[in-house]
Protein backbone atom coordinates (compact mmCIF):
# COMPACT_ATOMS: atom_id res chain seq x y z
CA UNK A 1 0.00 0.00 0.00
CA UNK A 2 3.02 2.26 -0.35
CA UNK A 3 1.46 3.72 -3.50
CA UNK A 4 -1.80 4.72 -1.75
CA UNK A 5 -1.09 8.47 -1.70
CA UNK A 6 -0.15 8.46 -5.38
CA UNK A 7 -3.24 6.40 -6.26
CA UNK A 8 -5.50 8.76 -4.30
CA UNK A 9 -4.11 11.78 -6.15
CA UNK A 10 -4.24 10.06 -9.53
CA UNK A 11 -7.76 8.60 -9.21
CA UNK A 12 -9.16 11.62 -7.37
CA UNK A 13 -7.68 14.50 -9.36
CA UNK A 14 -6.06 13.38 -12.60
CA UNK A 15 -7.78 10.41 -14.26
CA UNK A 16 -10.99 10.98 -16.19
CA UNK A 17 -13.18 7.99 -15.37
CA UNK A 18 -16.68 7.08 -14.21
CA UNK A 19 -17.61 4.22 -11.92
CA UNK A 20 -21.19 4.50 -13.15
CA UNK A 21 -20.08 4.31 -16.80
CA UNK A 22 -16.94 2.12 -16.76
CA UNK A 23 -16.90 1.66 -20.55
CA UNK A 24 -17.05 5.41 -21.28
CA UNK A 25 -15.14 5.80 -24.54
CA UNK A 26 -13.11 8.89 -23.51
CA UNK A 27 -12.04 7.52 -20.12
CA UNK A 28 -8.40 7.40 -19.13
CA UNK A 29 -7.07 3.85 -18.82
CA UNK A 30 -5.14 2.85 -15.71
CA UNK A 31 -2.91 -0.18 -16.29
CA UNK A 32 -1.22 -1.60 -13.22
CA UNK A 33 1.76 -3.38 -14.74
CA UNK A 34 2.94 -4.73 -11.39
CA UNK A 35 -0.10 -6.92 -10.95
CA UNK A 36 0.95 -8.10 -7.50
CA UNK A 37 -0.10 -4.66 -6.20
CA UNK A 38 -3.69 -5.21 -7.33
CA UNK A 39 -5.16 -4.81 -3.81
CA UNK A 40 -4.56 -1.09 -4.33
CA UNK A 41 -6.36 -1.15 -7.69
CA UNK A 42 -9.34 -3.03 -6.24
CA UNK A 43 -9.51 -0.57 -3.33
CA UNK A 44 -9.48 2.41 -5.68
CA UNK A 45 -12.27 0.87 -7.76
CA UNK A 46 -14.32 0.47 -4.58
CA UNK A 47 -13.62 4.01 -3.37
CA UNK A 48 -14.38 5.68 -6.71
CA UNK A 49 -17.81 4.15 -7.33
CA UNK A 50 -17.15 1.11 -9.47
CA UNK A 51 -19.03 -2.15 -8.89
CA UNK A 52 -16.54 -3.40 -6.29
CA UNK A 53 -18.06 -4.03 -2.87
CA UNK A 54 -16.40 -4.50 0.50
CA UNK A 55 -17.39 -8.15 0.25
CA UNK A 56 -15.52 -8.38 -3.07
CA UNK A 57 -12.46 -6.94 -1.31
CA UNK A 58 -12.82 -9.51 1.48
CA UNK A 59 -12.78 -12.25 -1.18
CA UNK A 60 -9.33 -11.13 -2.40
CA UNK A 61 -7.39 -14.04 -3.94
CA UNK A 62 -10.26 -16.48 -3.46
CA UNK A 63 -11.26 -18.88 -6.23
CA UNK A 64 -13.94 -17.42 -8.55
CA UNK A 65 -13.84 -13.97 -6.92
CA UNK A 66 -13.84 -10.60 -8.72
CA UNK A 67 -10.52 -9.90 -6.98
CA UNK A 68 -7.93 -12.49 -8.06
CA UNK A 69 -4.27 -12.18 -7.04
CA UNK A 70 -3.40 -10.36 -10.28
CA UNK A 71 -5.80 -8.11 -12.23
CA UNK A 72 -7.66 -9.94 -14.97
CA UNK A 73 -9.66 -8.15 -17.65
CA UNK A 74 -13.39 -8.90 -17.69
CA UNK A 75 -13.56 -10.03 -14.04
CA UNK A 76 -14.61 -6.58 -12.85
CA UNK A 77 -15.42 -3.19 -14.34
CA UNK A 78 -12.42 -0.87 -14.28
CA UNK A 79 -9.80 -3.55 -14.94
CA UNK A 80 -8.51 -2.53 -18.36
CA UNK A 81 -6.12 -5.41 -19.06
CA UNK A 82 -4.70 -8.57 -17.54
CA UNK A 83 -1.35 -7.89 -15.87
CA UNK A 84 1.21 -9.55 -13.68
CA UNK A 85 2.83 -12.93 -14.15
CA UNK A 86 -0.13 -14.95 -12.86
CA UNK A 87 -2.60 -12.99 -14.95
CA UNK A 88 -0.43 -13.35 -18.04
CA UNK A 89 -0.05 -17.11 -17.58
CA UNK A 90 -3.78 -17.57 -17.01
CA UNK A 91 -4.54 -15.54 -20.12
CA UNK A 92 -2.11 -17.59 -22.24
CA UNK A 93 -3.65 -20.86 -21.02
CA UNK A 94 -7.15 -19.67 -21.92
CA UNK A 95 -6.25 -18.91 -25.56
CA UNK A 96 -7.13 -21.44 -28.25
CA UNK A 97 -4.12 -23.26 -29.72
CA UNK A 98 -2.39 -21.56 -32.64
CA UNK A 99 -3.25 -22.83 -36.09
CA UNK A 100 -0.69 -25.18 -37.60
CA UNK A 101 0.75 -24.05 -40.95
DSSP-derived 3-state class of residue 13: helix
Q: Is 74 left (phi over 0), alpha (psi -120 to 50) or beta?
A: left
Q: What percent of the chain has a predicted confidence (pLDDT) above 90? A: 54
pLDDT of amino acid 32? 81
pLDDT digits (tens, 9 = 90+) for 20-38: 999 999 999 998 888 788 9
pLDDT of amino acid 83? 83
Closest C-alpha among 83, 73, 3, 13 to residue 43: 3
| CB burial string 13-28: b at 16+ within 10 A, e below | eeeebeeeebeeeeee
DSSP class per residue in 19-64: SSSTT-TTPPP---SSGGGHHHHHHHHHHTTSS--HHHHHTTT-TT
pLDDT of amino acid 85? 65
pLDDT of amino acid 70? 85
Amino acid sequence: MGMAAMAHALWGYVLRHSGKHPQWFNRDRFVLSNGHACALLYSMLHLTGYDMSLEDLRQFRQLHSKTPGHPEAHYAAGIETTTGEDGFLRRRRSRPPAAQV
